[in-house]
Amino acid sequence: MVKQLVVSVGAGCAQKPFIEKLKRRGYKVAAFGHGKNDPDAITLCDYFTAIDTSNSEEAISWLKTLNEEIIGAGSFAGGRAINTLQHIDREFSLCTKIPKKLSVGMNKFRQQLLYKKLGAGYIETFPADNFAKYVDHIHSNKHYIVKPAVGRGSAGVYKISGQDLIEKFFRKELKEDEVIQECISGNEYRVLVLVHKKVIKILSPIKRESRYGGYLLGRLSVDLNVLSLLKRHFENILPNMEIDNSIMKADVMIDEAGIKLIEVDIGVGGGEFFSNYVSVIEGVDLNDLYIDLITGGDVEDNMGVEKKAQYVMDYFYLDKGGELIDRENLQEKIKSLFGDCVIQFNSSRNREETGRLEVNSDFVLNVIHQREELSSEDVDKLLTDCVMLT
């Protein structure tokens, strides 16, 4: 017997495992996306249309024409797709719907205003298009981070002193689509939080380290020392968020003063590669738990389960262009170096496009492994020696 319909926001390669799992569990699937769609994912769907994942209004209108009972909606996409997913949840009164006040989009100034209102720990942020109002708040002897107001993947981010920032403003060199944030120290974490019936069922405390001290994503690892602190923090802010059922990927900074939110994606599990890492360290299939959540089923409580903290995930980039060896041989070489490991190729990159280093999505592949005695720089050198054609 075919169950009710589940909506997939996106039909790219990141959505394919999600759609496959839905079909195996007997659900109908309606998906939409425009651009980098996966032909196999589309073939699996009962309904598909080429609507951009940022166009919530058109997507909702299309879904209504299907005359099907929609029981859930999900996505492993990012960016504007998150806002679309939230709109669909509310429009069809799905169990994972969140209050409208939480849907502030991708603008980092509005995001930080929301975190401040929620009492969630925020980063002081100023909009460049109205910076004259805030320039007196800048301390010349401090440092600040300038970044696009709407942007992902560490693109266009740089550090600047307060004095240089003030001078840059008066020279009218700040871009109107940028924001300025206080530069805070501490450790950065990428936290997966799954909430079911107002109870946290999964919380993965994953430390994020940048590549060679820059801004590109380098290594993810489990830090059990901050698990209790993070759990208390999210338990404290959930009532203000008024969330009953949802999954969140939260980027946070932790220092001696406590926790500050950098960015929280509500409704999505943080993308294909991140969710696969969470599945490894939690010993579960996050796709299964996500489907249980969005369809109103029972969700297994994983908080008491020991995490596989010995696993780390290293992202590998190449500074120079060139063609990679074929994947089969490359996988054999990597496994000979790391033993028991999971290799994830970035399917959005062509084999020849290896010399670009601008955003996080420029990585060539990542490896989930247990050789934690190696630094991310060690891993980088090992992989560089084995991936290129000679």
Print pLDDT tens along the chain (390 aa).
457 999 999 999 889 999 999 999 999 999 999 988 999 999 999 999 999 999 999 999 999 999 999 999 999 988 899 999 999 999 999 999 999 999 998 899 999 999 999 999 999 999 999 999 999 999 999 999 999 998 766 678 899 999 999 999 999 999 999 999 999 989 999 999 999 999 999 999 999 999 887 778 999 999 999 999 999 999 999 999 999 999 999 999 999 889 999 999 999 878 889 999 999 999 999 999 999 999 999 999 999 999 999 999 999 988 766 666 678 888 999 999 999 999 999 877 654 455 567 778 888 899 999 998 999 999 998 998 887 654
The answer to whether residues 185 and 194 touch, using CB atoms and an 8 Å cutoff, is no
Kindly give the pairing relationship between strand 217-222 and strand 187-196.
Answer: unpaired
What is the rounded CA–CA span in Å between residue 283 and residue 279? Answer: 6
Give the dihedral of Cα atoms 344, 350, 351, 354; nearest 10 deg.
Answer: -90
**Residue 251: what residue type?**
D
* CA–CA–CA angle 348, 351, 356 (5° rounding): 75
The answer to whether residues 246 and 98 touch, using CB atoms and an 8 Å cutoff, is yes
**Residue 129: what residue type?**
D
The answer to whether residues 8 and 19 touch, using CB atoms and an 8 Å cutoff, is yes
**Residue 16: what residue type?**
K
Does the model's pTM come out above 0.85?
A: yes
What is the rounded CA–CA span in Å between residue 11 and residue 87? Answer: 18
What is the rounded CA–CA span in Å between residue 190 and residue 222? Answer: 10
The answer to whether residues 73 and 6 touch, using CB atoms and an 8 Å cutoff, is yes
Q: DSSP string spanning 266-332?
A: ESS-S-HHHHHHHHHHHTS-HHHHHHHHHTT------TTSPP-TT-EEEEE--SS--PBPPHHHHHH
C-alpha pair distances (Å), 296 with each of 233, 245, 293, 315: 25, 9, 6, 35
Domain ranges of the chain: 5-94, 124-182, 186-309, 310-390
The answer to whether residues 70 and 96 touch, using CB atoms and an 8 Å cutoff, is no
pLDDT score, position 324:
66
* Strand partners of residue 210: 217
pLDDT score, position 352:
47
Candidates 3.40.50.10860, 3.30.470.20, 3.40.50.300, 2.60.40.2140; CATH matching 186-309: 3.30.470.20
Secondary structure letter of residue 388 according to DSSP: B
CATH architecture type of domain 5-94? 3-Layer(aba) Sandwich (3.40)
The answer to whether residues 51 and 59 touch, using CB atoms and an 8 Å cutoff, is yes
pLDDT score, position 390:
47
What is the rounded CA–CA span in Å between residue 193 and residue 158? Answer: 29
Domain over 124-182 is classified CATH 2.60.40: no
Decide whether 124-182 matches 186-309 in CATH topology: no
Helix, strand, coil percent values for the chain (each to nearest 5)? 35, 25, 40
Secondary structure letter of residue 349 according to DSSP: S
